[in-house]
Copies of this chain bind each other. A is one copy, B any other.
Amino acid sequence: MNTFGYFLRVTTWGESHGKAVGCVIDSFPSGLKVDEDFIQREMERRRPGGKFASKRKETDKVEILSGVFEGITTGTPISMLIWNVDADSSAYESLKTVFRPGHADFTYWTKFGVRDWRGGGRASGRETAARVAAGAMAKLLLRRYGIKVMGYAKEIAGVRCEVDDPEKAFERAEKSPLKIPDRDAEREAEQRLKQAMSDGDSVGGVVEVVAKNVPAGLGEPVFGKLDAYLAYAVMGIPAVKGVEISAG
């Protein structure tokens, strides 16, 4: 079950240290101009490499293999592929026989009886690269309808920042390595992160996402509510443990 969506569907595939990760987007409308620079910028935004995240260098160049002809979507499945170029498994050799607490290693082992221990295998943050590529295509589609989706860190390691204007907050956060819209909060969060890292600990956080110009009537009335489907999508990201909608 590696597919998300009903009318528009994305299937992701790939392991952290396999040859590549990628996705197939099905039922994407035809006639949309594909802005590849935008897709690449979205990949950059996701890419680890700051002081506080995984040290892996991921160039994450997206190759579009189908569904686009002369720069325009054709209505056929869009296959996107990202080669794994910096997949040095040696660092994970020690995990071959060890289950990391809090990771999905043990669950995979129980469920499948076999596991790709290199870098978390499929249960790696690396898998989200394929989601970001698909998400970039989705954003291009939403743009056509004037819908804008913006996200930023509202809380990191207990440091919270109040946000009045989501659009301005989003712009400020885009310039911040921690994606925090407030300079003071960022400095404080950095301090706590450094402390946590030297303690060998991890920290939690809260991300706020705001969508503008969403028309009334999207989503389905009962089980496929927009609220419910968004919660479903977000909870599918490893490490997400809670979702609240509006003043939830």
A60 at the interface (CB under 8 A from B): no
Q: Which residue of B lies closest to A4 (CB)?
A: B223
Q: Do B2 and A216 have beta carbons less than 8 Å apart?
A: no
Instruction: Compute how far the CA of A223 lies from the CA of B11 in the bound complex, rounded to whole angstroms.
Output: 9
The one of B18, B106, B223, B236 in contact with A2, judged by C-beta atoms closer than 8 angstroms, is: B223
A17-47 interface code vs B (CB 8 A; 1 in, 0 out): 0111110101100110000000000000000
Q: Do A76 and B235 have beta carbons less than 8 Å apart?
A: no
A181 at the interface (CB under 8 A from B): no
Q: Apart from A19-B65, A228-B232, A242-B248, what 4 extra A-B contacts exist at CB < 8 Å?
A: A21-B66, A31-B114, A74-B116, A107-B216
A15 at the interface (CB under 8 A from B): yes
Instruction: Compute how far the CA of A6 lies from the CA of B6 in the bound complex, rounded to whole angstroms.
Output: 9
Q: Do B21 and A121 have beta carbons less than 8 Å apart?
A: no
A227 at the interface (CB under 8 A from B): yes
Instruction: Compute how far the CA of A76 lies from the CA of B76 in the bound complex, rounded to whole angstroms.
Output: 24
A residues adjacent to B (C-beta < 8 A): 1-4, 6-7, 9, 11-15, 18-22, 24, 26-27, 30-31, 63, 65-67, 69, 72-79, 81, 104, 106-108, 110-116, 121-123, 127, 215-217, 220-225, 227-229, 231-236, 241-248
The one of B1, B12, B76, B236 in contact with A122, judged by C-beta atoms closer than 8 angstroms, is: B76
Instruction: Compute how far the CA of A179 lies from the CA of B225 in the bound complex, rounded to whole angstroms.
Output: 27
Q: Do B11 and A77 have beta carbons less than 8 Å apart?
A: yes
The one of B113, B221, B224, B236 in contact with A31, judged by C-beta atoms closer than 8 angstroms, is: B113
The one of B79, B114, B122, B244 in contact with A221, judged by C-beta atoms closer than 8 angstroms, is: B122
21 contacts between A and B (CB under 8 A): A2-B76, A3-B9, A4-B223, A13-B65, A13-B77, A14-B77, A14-B79, A31-B114, A69-B121, A72-B114, A74-B112, A74-B114, A74-B121, A76-B116, A106-B216, A122-B221, A228-B232, A228-B234, A232-B232, A241-B244, A243-B244
